[in-house]
Chain A
């Protein structure tokens, strides 16, 4: 109701010239811009580039976080060794890594993917570690009473007990991956939605900037829903 009304009002104000067209173009103009990009085929290249970066960065960050989270969660020794270091690194604002990654990895894909991976890493790592540390020892005891040992205990008690926290971590990790891809593409890219934004800014085309804003929102929402959907079968165990 409210969004619909806002859209209509926005359209009317833009069409009647109350809002300057170069400042806030009408929704139909933005839709037409997206349509044009799709028609020339340009859109798919940008979408593909951005999606590929997010996917690669997210998977890389989440994979490293999963391994480190399991290791520090399972072994107090490793936790004492690694966790303080990781917590210290977390205090560095992630954007501050950009110059270093550019210096190390160049302006190509590697530095962008790495930056996104750093963004995705921390929420996954922190949530997984907390999930493991907060496993209810009373449920572990129940597992032992019914004869579950080692792998059986891991598979039937420890894993499902950790999963909700892990999924929360993956979700916020994915959210941060989308945040970081914008930064990565704004800092220098020849393709991708972030590039479209910069292009819109330099050519003073607000419709291009708004079009990519909307596309970012849609893609972020779609990938998050996919993640939630793929995690659903594990939410209420099918682990028997």
Chain B
């Protein structure tokens, strides 16, 4: 059962009957990572996708990013089908993936190679301060903490001024406090830039704190199980009753679906 999202005049992202199978080529069984996923993301929306590991949520994000080929169905960003990666779709991965031989500012500049030198300097300075790292421009990634490195990765993804920002479990490797701090940071940046955001996570609280809607996915094959609209005002209070009620509803959705789909079949 897939609930249809509210469809704006033009969706920033539009997925129709999206399926993806990893072929085992006879050595292993074919793995159906995604089956018949339909989703619309409105411009400026924050869509959070939650699911257990292996439910295809990262595959979904990688297809939108253009990093995963060979899907069936439609994946459109800004009205055009995705055929490959593009700076217009910024990606932040779980690992910061900064180039270790470049400084903070060089890493951000790496994302905008085609700008004229002056414009490039300005864009880099703007995005370095957007993520609160002014003063660290000349540092190398190895000199940064995990949270700081992930901020640089966000600055790098935003520097080409992408239409959509794709976050693939971006704070999964950070400790709980840094993670919450980074979630607030992302919210602040989103309020300033209003970029369409797709966040893939296994952290229900994170999804509820950031998402306009929370998509719950189930595994094998990866399908959209249910979409929860989150109609709470930002900044959201993680300890509020409404927050807790939604968290509980999502939890229940998970365990129901788990119970109905046994991991192993005899």
Contact = CB atoms under 8 A, between A and B. Distances in A.
Interface of A: 138-139, 141-142, 144-148, 152, 156-157, 160-161, 163, 235-237, 239-240
A236 B91 CA distance: 25
Interface in B102-120: 102-103, 106, 109-114
Please tell me the size bucket of the interface on B. 20 to 34
A236 B105 CA distance: 13
A159 to B, nearest CB: 10
Interface in B90-106: 90-91, 93, 95, 97, 99, 101-103, 106
B86 interface: yes
Given A138-B93, A141-B67, A237-B106, A148 B113 contact: yes
A145 B102 contact: no
Contacts of B86: 145, 147
A66 to B, nearest CB: 19
A152 B84 CA distance: 17
B71 to A, nearest CB: 17
B222 interface: no
Contacts of A240: 102, 106, 109-110
B65 A145 contact: yes
Given A138-B95, A138-B97, A239-B101, A147 B113 contact: yes
A19 B186 CA distance: 76
Interface of B is mostly: loop
Contact of B87 (A139, A147, A157, A235): A147
B87 A146 contact: yes
Contacts of B65: 145
Contact of B99 (A142, A147, A152): A142
B140 interface: yes
Interface of B: 65, 67, 84-87, 89-91, 93, 95, 97, 99, 101-103, 106, 109-114, 140, 156, 160
A186 B33 CA distance: 67
Given A236-B140, A237-B102, A146 B97 contact: no
Contact of B101 (A145, A147, A237): A237
Contacts of A160: 99, 101
B99 A145 contact: no
Nearest to B153: A142
Contacts of B89: 145
A102 to B, nearest CB: 44
16 contacts: A138-B93, A142-B97, A145-B86, A146-B111, A146-B112, A147-B113, A147-B114, A160-B99, A160-B101, A161-B101, A163-B101, A236-B140, A237-B99, A239-B102, A240-B106, A240-B110
A139 B97 contact: yes
B85 A144 contact: yes
Given A141-B67, A152-B113, A240-B106, A146 B99 contact: no
Nearest to A138: B97
Contact of A146 (B95, B102, B106, B160): B160
A98 to B, nearest CB: 41
Contacts of A138: 93, 95, 97
A206 B203 CA distance: 75
